[in-house]
Amino acid sequence: MNFDFLDAVKGLFNNDLISKAASYLDESELGIKRALNAIIPVSIAGIINRAQSSPELVFTSAKEVFNSGIINKIGDSFRPGAGGMPPLAPSLITSVLGDKFSSVANAVSDSTGLKSSSICTLFANIIPLALGLLGKNAIESNQSPGNLASWLSLQKHETLSLIPSGLNLSSVLPGFRSGANMIPPIMPKKRASWLLPALITLATLFLILWLFRKP
């Protein structure tokens, strides 16, 4: 399959979308770019890992997400009153990162200095978009679940190498090692003390994003 997964996902976040996300989340555009440099490879690595253990699940989810039309609705989540994420995001986050999501989100927040709620919102948009792009190309190239999983496994080394070196996820996600792209250390913003346990359940993820949304 002649498809650059990482570049395709990065390409969705043009300057206009980054500006909308920054405004919606009350973050700087530079901060959003820093976060994307971590969240995109982490999200893709999570999809790759999941495909190794559950190829049929990833294959089916990717096709369903693409068929939902999400790729044609890029940026809708960042409109006033939109809620910050697609409706299918919580279940997809659980499928890809499981109960490790809160630890991963906190690690990215610590390394980038963005609010934890902003990191959660970005993950909630990137994972569905990445799966949608994967589903589009799987359908167009007539891939089977096994073939798709095999192709994804070939992308693992490059993907892991793009995880910033300041972000050490090996303790929460086996096989996740940071690469050579150092994120300069900055002081993280204070997180609410209840974030870590709150993100464990699907319902609470909705609540957190609602609490931190822009009016």
What distance in Å separates the CA atoms of residue 158 and residue 22, rounded to the nearest whole number?
28
- What is residue 175's predicted lDDT score, i.e. its pLDDT? 60
Rounded to the nearest 10 degrees, what angle do helices 29-53 and 116-140 cross at? 50
Q: Is the pLDDT of residue 22 over 90?
A: yes
Rounded to the nearest 5 degrees, what angle is found at the Cα of 119, between the Cα atoms of 66 and 116? Answer: 145
Number of Cβ within a 10 Å radius of residue 185: 10
**Percent of the chain predicted with pLDDT > 70:** 78
Pair 38, 167: CB distance under 8 Å: yes
Q: Is 78 exposed, middle or buried (0-12, 13-18, 19+ CB in 10 A)?
A: buried
Q: What is the pLDDT of residues 147-203, one digit of tens each?
A: 999 999 999 989 988 988 777 777 666 666 555 443 444 444 444 443 444 445 445
> Which pTM value belongs to this model?
0.81
Q: Residue 173: its pLDDT value, please?
A: 66
Spatial distance between the Cα atoms of 75 and 80, rounded to a whole number of angstroms = 11
- The pLDDT, as a whole number, for residue 211 is 54
Q: What is the mean pLDDT of residues 82-97?
A: 89
- Mean predicted lDDT score pLDDT of the chain: 83
Residue 88 scores a pLDDT above 60: yes
Residue 179, SS3 per DSSP:
coil
pLDDT for 83 beyond 90: no
Q: Please tell me the predicted confidence (pLDDT) of residue 194.
A: 39
Residue whose C-alpha is closest to residue 155's, from 58, 72, 88, 89: 58
Q: Mean pLDDT lowest for which of 46-50, 71-75, 79-83, 140-144?
A: 79-83
Higher local confidence (pLDDT), 196 or 60: 60
Q: Give the single-character DSSP code of 73.
A: G
Residue 195: the pLDDT is 45
pLDDT over 50 (residue 72): yes
List the domain boundaries for the chain.
Answer: 5-211
Residue 207 has pLDDT above 60, yes or no: no
Which conformational region is residue 67 in: left (phi greater than 0), alpha (psi within -120 to 50 degrees), or beta? alpha
At residue 85 the predicted structure's pLDDT band, cuts being 50, 70 and 90, is confident
CB-count burial class (<10 Å; 0-12, 13-18, 19+) for 74? middle
pLDDT digits (tens, 9 = 90+) for 118-158: 999 999 999 999 999 999 999 999 999 999 999 999 999 89
